[in-house]
Structure 1
Amino acid sequence: MKFDNGVSNLTAAVAAALVGTALPFGAVAQAQEAADLPQAASASADHVIIGMGTAVMPVYQGADDYRVLPLPALDIAQGQFFVNLRDGAGVKAIETRDVTLGASVAMTQGYRRRDVPDGVRGVDFGAGARIFGSFRAGGVTATIGGTRGFAGGTRGVTVDGSLAYPVAVSTRVMLIPAAIVTWANGKYNDRYFGISAREAAASGLSQFEAGSGFKDASGTLTIVYRLTDRLSASATGGVTSLLGDVKNSPLVEHKTQPSGFLALTYRLGKIW
């Protein structure tokens, strides 16, 4: 039972390929799949991994309030097809030791109306079309992905880039530091962070419009502990800082925020 180079590369790819959303949601996906891949790669590229986790995250980016959220872990791969929390459901068109290119339908982030000041409307969680690519060299994985919302949510566009470098501390323990930056277009930023004239009149907040630009930068550290060949536990801690115009939104009470996630996952094996 050990983390070999192949497992490390696969884990780094997963840790780096984050959804183009706020860190709290991205960190959840990162933690789950960082824990999952050592199990999956040690047996087969085809796998079914399930589990449960608990996330502690802001109710929205910049909020003063946090919530504890139980979340299921799911990672299924069969040939070119996959389903996971990070990229949703899709196809990997190219997958080699050094390069992965794929497309999927992924979840897009929102927030509940009750979590924002009275008079400000919520943003529904939705779905978006996503394309992504991961490139591995020297133990480092660089990933870039783009998501365009088409249902619910902001229906805007986000582009995320990340770097991850896994470090095998022992045959059972792996550390995965990662750095992530996210760009968003004006439609996304205005819908998520903006305050319209109607909302300003209803809430007493100042009217605010944010254009396109870099939205946030994050740093995370995931610790994966492999309990058995099939069972793994993981913990992720991270910090996100808002960038550009969005950090000046009247909705933003804290420009820099921590988040965390704990998970326990189990590999069932191949689908068939």
Structure 2
Amino acid sequence: MKARVNRYVNHVLLGTMLCAGTIDAMADESTSPVSPNTLSPDAWHFTVGGGFLSLPKYPGASDRKFEPLPLLGASHGRYFFGAVPDANTPLGMGAYLYRDAHWQVAALLSYDFIQPRDQSDDARLQGLGDIARTAHAGMFGSYTLDRFTVRGSVLTDILGKHEGTVATLGVEGKVQAADRLTLSAGPGLTWGSSQYSQTFYGVNAGQSARSGLAAYAPDSGIASVNFSVKANYRLSPRWGVGATVVASELRGDVSGSPIVEKKAQVTYGLFSSYLF
């Protein structure tokens, strides 16, 4: 039963690599790692569910959009497919390289479920072109001690779509507020490579000529800091619902981009999932 509850909580709130535009806003939603000896390595486990996000139209936008998000996942022992809550992606596959009562480390391949950016999203983006979906490869891991978890990830574009490399680091504290209600909160940050910064926040000479915006070439560095507050409610041993609010602020070179209208960004999410 404990294993089912932990896995259900893992899948209720699927946070920041939902798309490249929100990677700096969402933090991992995983709970304490489940011992591999508890999860019946020869058995399949499946998750179905869905939810929606309310988020800025693009990183730095002042206007908002809503995005539906399916949660479909499967795991067998150390292997996982579909939604990967520990890495904040709704479409991926990979394997845990190591897991115990405190540590978990995994390798991952993922693909953007939501297109990172479309120039039709906002008038300010006209002339900048779209940012296409791509595949990412990397690793994620966490360490949990009592009610606190430290987690991080590194993912890089492997299809040559110029999305660069992004690394995240966060700390989360968790409390059992009631028998079925779990609350958690904590800070985090996102680092982006120069290629990531240029693609999502830069304006090259051609884009400048087409859009009328000043040319801008941000360097690598801390792209944002964030603070998240989350709630999970267990309706039953298999059903769960959750909500998250993540406030972030763009930092460093990317915050000075001419496409940035608002440095402070807030993302809201509501989700529900069923484990079997």
Shorter-chain TM-score tier: 0.7 to 0.9
- 2:66 paired residue number: 68
Contact kept? 1:23, 1:240, Cα under 8 Å: no
Pick closer, same or farther for the CA change 1:249–1:28 going to 2, 3 Å.
closer
- 1:111 paired residue number: 117
Pick closer, same or farther for the CA change 1:28–1:20 going to 2, 3 Å.
closer
Alignment length (residue pairs): 261
Q: Residue type of the partner of 2:80? A: F
Quote the Cα distance in structure 1 between the aligned partners of 2:10 and 2:207.
42
- 1:175 paired residue number: 183
- 1:89 paired residue number: 93
Quote the Cα distance in structure 2 between the aligned partners of 1:239 and 1:6.
30
Higher-RCO chain (CA-CA 8 Å, sequence separation at least 6): 1
What secondary structure is seen at the aligned counterpart in 1 of 2:268? strand
Contact kept? 2:28, 2:151, Cα under 8 Å: no
Q: Cα RMSD between the aligned structures?
A: 3.3
Q: Residue type of the partner of 1:200? A: S
Choose the corresponding residue for 1:221, options 229, 232, 237: 229
After superposition, the C-alpha distances for 1:182-218 in whole angstroms (9 at most, x for unaligned) are 1111011011100011111111111000001001111
What secondary structure is seen at the aligned counterpart in 2 of 1:191? helix
Q: Residue type of the partner of 1:201? A: A
Quote the Cα distance in structure 1 between the aligned partners of 2:222 and 2:141.
20
After alignment, is 20-29 or 181-190 more displaced? Answer: 20-29
Point out where structure 2 has 5 or more consecutive residues left out of the alignment: none
Quote the Cα distance in structure 1 between the aligned partners of 2:27 and 2:40.
21
- Where in structure 2 are the equivalents of 1:247-266 lying within 5 Å? 247-266=255-274
Contact kept? 1:237, 1:259, Cα under 8 Å: yes
After alignment, is 221-230 or 77-86 more displaced? Answer: 77-86
Name the structure with the higher helix share: 1
Contact kept? 2:25, 2:226, Cα under 8 Å: no
What secondary structure is seen at the aligned counterpart in 2 of 1:166? strand
- 1:98 paired residue number: 102
Q: Residue type of the partner of 1:113? A: Q
Q: Residue type of the partner of 1:99? A: W
Contact kept? 1:20, 1:158, Cα under 8 Å: no
Quote the Cα distance in structure 1 between the aligned partners of 2:202 and 2:38.
46
Q: Residue type of the partner of 1:176? A: S
| Cα displacement (A) at 1:17 | 8.9
After alignment, is 86-95 or 226-235 more displaced? Answer: 86-95
Point out where structure 1 has 5 or more consecutive residues left out of the alignment: none
Pick closer, same or farther for the CA change 1:145–1:43 going to 2, 3 Å.
closer
After superposition, the C-alpha distances for 1:54-78 in whole angstroms (9 at most, x for unaligned) are 1101111101221111110123221
| Cα displacement (A) at 1:154 | 3.1
- Where in structure 2 are the equivalents of 1:1-272 lying within 5 Å? 19=17, 24=22, 30=28, 47-83=45-81, 84-85=83-84, 86-87=88-89, 88-108=92-112, 110-116=116-122, 117-151=125-159, 153-267=161-275, 269=276
Contact kept? 1:112, 1:123, Cα under 8 Å: yes
Quote the Cα distance in structure 1 between the aligned partners of 2:256 and 2:9.
36
What secondary structure is seen at the aligned counterpart in 1 of 2:158? strand
Quote the Cα distance in structure 1 between the aligned partners of 2:25 and 2:262.
18
| Cα displacement (A) at 1:170 | 1.2
Quote the Cα distance in structure 1 between the aligned partners of 2:207 and 2:224.
24
What secondary structure is seen at the aligned counterpart in 2 of 1:240? strand
What secondary structure is seen at the aligned counterpart in 2 of 1:253? coil
Quote the Cα distance in structure 1 between the aligned partners of 2:153 and 2:194.
18
Q: Residue type of the partner of 1:67? A: K
